Amino acid sequence: MPRMRESVLALLLLSSFAGSAAERVAPAQLQAMLQSRSPAPLVLDVRSEQEFADGHVPQAVLIPHDQLQDRLGELDPARGIVVYCRTGRRSAIAEEVLVRNGFRVRELEGNWLGWQASGLPVETATPTPLQTPGKTP
């Protein structure tokens, strides 16, 4: 009986970390949003600077997940955000921070690996400061 209780508790704990609650956006859908004439969401890459420089979603901005809490003021709360990392762990952390602070967040389905697997365009460049309307970097 104690072993069963431990198993149930372990399953509950794992399920709480199993995935993000955010609505997901497919890579092709995000690509269409970025190419449309209507305002596109902010694409937020929460990986490291080196990962970003090696390749990222076009128009993405970089705020590493461990800097996000301190840099929330750079983001426009009126603009939707699509967040991604390599596999989903860091984007889930970032999503929690963003939602807790009132941002509308969606996660890139499959994250960076999903974008790459879809064969969609990739940019390679070092990050530049995030330009927020009404603010200077």
User: Helix or strand or coil: residue 3?
Assistant: helix
Residue numbers annotated as active site: 85
User: Are the CB atoms for 108 and 57 separated by under 8 Å?
Assistant: yes
119: left (phi over 0), alpha (psi -120 to 50) or beta: left
Q: Encoding tokens for residue 137? A: 């970097």
Task: Give burial (CB, 10 Å; 0-12/13-18/19+) of 5.
Answer: exposed
